[in-house]
Amino acid sequence: MIMGKKVDRDLKEGISVTKGTNQKLKMLYLKQIFEEETDDQHSLTLQNITERLNSLGVNADRKTLYQDFKELKRYGMDIIAMQEGRTWNYHLGSRDFELPEVKLLVDSVQASKFINEHKSDTLIRKLEKLVSHYEGQELQRQVYIFGRIKTSNKRTYLTIDTIFKAINENYQIQFHYCKWNIHKELEKRRDGSSYTVSPWCLVWDNENYYLLGYDALDKKLKHYRVDKMMDISILRTRRLGRDAYRRIDMPEYTQYHFGMYDGDVENVTVELENDLIGVFIDRFGKKIPVTPVDDDHVAVTITAAVSRQFLGWIFALGPGVKITSPQSVVLAMRREGERIADAYTAKQQEPKE
């Protein structure tokens, strides 16, 4: 593929390519032509293919191309021939990645906040090469990166690479963990003290990437936003917390922890209006128990890490939703409501006469 790009560049710069110079690259060029220049909507005739190969310094004729197509099929490429009148047209049918699949990957890159704008653009251009040039143009028209919230930490990729290496080699890591300040700058937590963690896996949740690691000091698993980790290094100390990691169910873990915030995991019963059941099924799945309360209400029991983020999610659903048990969570919700009410109940001074 690199040689193909070199020849293309020579042609654009007006450098002549002698016919037959690149004969040994013929099958590679044919593969490249089918992948880049054909799809279900765009095909090439034998003459088109011959001229394209000749321009790349490869001899080709009708007889040898037929045999080449057979070899490409034997290799696994879905070369399709279709007759239109007296002309035969050829294109690549199925691919490793179909257009809708690549579109899903592109959408994921666009939505990811931990991938910065420049890297997003680079990744999307690489993904476009999985489909034809024409389909790549179609994808490009649907790409909207600018204006999206993206991380400003350009070292996130290196952080991820270091984490993977530490996991594979069974070592702990050390890093600084950061937060935003009022000057819109990332500043180190703990007055600049480093964190020492045993990394176990990376988790994608709510458009962010998290490290799930074991904190030996607190003797529990914690999660950290990857784009807020800096100055990461691998320690020559074996990881801890294997048993704690094995005990968790990862899909359930991400489901319980709203926005990946910590909290005590509780079985919470919520009474809600019938029309709101879909919100809970979407968030917790169809396996949640649903019990009728009356004609207009049902009760559901969910498992969640009770944090301010969870209480805020319940609060945002409005008066049609009410936590009924356990009492500790009911009281926590009441206190949270009072705290919010107090924040909006400022004492007004009497106007002076």
**8 A C-beta contact, residue 198 and residue 243:** no
Write out the two tokens for 273.
């209006």
What is the helix (H) or strand (E) element at residue 107, kind and residue range? helix 99-111
The predicted structure's pLDDT at residue 1: 38
Cβ-based burial of 236 (10 A; exposed 0-12, middle 13-18, buried ≥19): exposed
pLDDT value for 277 = 92
Position 156 scores a pLDDT of: 84
CATH number of 154-248: 2.30.30
The CATH code for residues 265-343 is 3.30.70
Distance of alpha carbon 113 from alpha carbon 92, whole angstroms: 35
Distance CA 113, CA 150 (A): 4
Q: How far apart are CA 226 and CA 167, in angstroms?
A: 15
What H or E segment, with its residue span, contains residue 269? strand 264-273
**What pLDDT, on the 0 to 100 scale, is given for residue 185?**
85
- Architecture in CATH of 23-94: Orthogonal Bundle (1.10)
Indicate the pTM of the whole model. Answer: 0.63
- Three-state SS at 260: helix
**Structure tokens that stand for 208 in this block:** 């962010």
Q: What is the pLDDT of residue 207?
A: 73
Per-residue pLDDT of the chain in tens (353 residues, 90 and over written 9):
344 454 455 444 444 556 667 899 999 999 999 999 999 999 999 999 999 999 999 999 888 999 999 999 999 999 999 999 999 999 999 999 998 899 889 888 887 777 888 888 899 999 999 999 999 888 876 665 555 656 666 788 889 989 999 999 999 999 999 998 888 888 999 999 999 999 999 888 777 888 999 999 999 999 999 989 999 999 999 999 999 999 988 777 776 665 656 778 889 999 999 999 998 888 888 888 999 999 999 999 998 888 888 999 999 999 999 999 999 999 999 999 999 888 888 655 555 55
Q: What is the pLDDT of residue 283?
A: 82
**At which residue do the structure tokens 């037959």 appear?**
20
CA distance 83 to 222: 62
Which of 51, 35, 155 minimizes the C-alpha distance to 97? 35
Domain locations in the chain as residue ranges: 23-94, 99-140, 154-248, 265-343
Sorted by sequence, the CB contacts under 8 Å of residue 224 that are 6+ apart come out as: 177, 195, 197, 210, 211, 213
Residue type, 5: K
Give the Å distances, CA to CA, from 290 to 273, 278, 281, 287, 301.
12, 12, 10, 9, 7
